[in-house]
Amino acid sequence: MTGSSRGLTRRAALRHCRTALETADPGDAAGDARFLLLGVLGLENRDLLVEGDRPLDDGEAVALDAALARRLAGEPVARILGAWEFWGLPIRLAPETLVPRPDTEILVEAALASVSDRSAPLRCLDLGTGSGCILAALLSELPRAYGIGLDRSAAALAMARHNLAANGFGGRSAFAVGDWCDAMRGTADQTFDLVVSNPPYIVRDVIPTLHREVRMHDPLAALDGGADGLDAYRRILDGVRTGNLLAHAGVLAVEIGYDQAASVRSLAAAAGFVDRGLTRDLAGHDRVLSFGLPKGHGDPHLRIDRH
């Protein structure tokens, strides 16, 4: 058991949290303690520096003790706060959304790297948008772009809608409930310059071996990639291709697991996509694959009529 933070100053409360967390799991106790304190009290780093001697009021102490107890029981800080940061943007979370990973910023970077004119009115589609963090990041860098986010979960979409609006992109985004590309059926001739996705890609049998914080606190539906981890890629590649969702010079960029590049590349080739490269994450792991359409696709005179 840890003591209460009642009556402590902000600075002492930070120390109290850090000590308690270090005893339980020295991993990132200092960072966790800081994020927890700042998040629960609604403070910024500056408030700790300038007003570190200010005592917590009773309500703050109760809230901090409750949050600390949850962290000590193994819940990630982002879940306790219901909020995290992605691409420098504040993102709120629901139980139905993944905690945004720093690795997923590589997906945003890869998608942006494929854009030749960032001020163009690009059309973006985010499949399995979750909290909407990827779409928010893209729209923050593409001032005239608009984006559509699809997700199976209505609760996730409500959070995505909130996050886009809270970051100032509400007027450039729209959301629809749908299973992968299905919601786009019947929207004839709607194509996208960027199609992005961080789909569930964990092999089902591997899920029980994942780190406890992921296994217990991230939504299973956002992790489970089926028996071989590739179910979502099959759906996405097929849906984007048969639905003609990619503009002829557009790019489809997907996050992948570290050992999935070869499999996803061969699925993409079989679905008729052209390889546009692999991007690794900061740890050197394969992380993002980009695909385009074959040259000539979309040229009316080259289009083969269906019989």
- Per CB under 6 A, residues contacting ligand GLN are 101, 198-202, 214, 223
Closest distance of CB 138 from ligand GLN, Å? 17
CB atoms within 10 A of CB 270: 12
DSSP string, 209-275: GS-HHHHHHS-GGGTB--TTS-HHHHHHHHHHHHTT-EEEEEEEEEE--TT-HHHHHHHHHHTT-EE
**Which residue number, 6 or 215, has a Cβ lying nearer to ligand GLN?**
215
Closest distance of CB 233 from ligand GLN, Å? 11
**Which residue number, 217 or 248, has a Cβ lying nearer to ligand GLN?**
217
**Which residue number, 40 or 203, has a Cβ lying nearer to ligand GLN?**
203
- Sequence-distant (≥ 6) Cβ neighbours of residue 98 within 8 angstroms: 130, 131, 198, 218, 219, 222, 223
CB 56 within 8 Å of CB 70: no
Closest distance of CB 257 from ligand GLN, Å? 7
Residue 291: strand pairing partners: 252, 275
**Which residue number, 145 or 202, has a Cβ lying nearer to ligand GLN?**
202
Closest distance of CB 73 from ligand GLN, Å? 20
**Which residue number, 8 or 157, has a Cβ lying nearer to ligand GLN?**
157
- Sequence-distant (≥ 6) Cβ neighbours of residue 263 within 8 angstroms: 228, 230
The tokens for 242 are 């048969």
Closest distance of CB 235 from ligand GLN, Å? 14
**Which residue number, 62 or 207, has a Cβ lying nearer to ligand GLN?**
207
CB 164 within 8 Å of CB 132: yes
Closest distance of CB 264 from ligand GLN, Å? 12
Cα–Cα distance for residue pair 204/208, rounded to 1 Å:
8
Angle between helices 10-24 and 58-72 in degrees, nearest 10: 20
Closest distance of CB 161 from ligand GLN, Å? 21
**Which residue number, 76 or 243, has a Cβ lying nearer to ligand GLN?**
76
3-state secondary structure of 306: coil
- DSSP code of 297? T
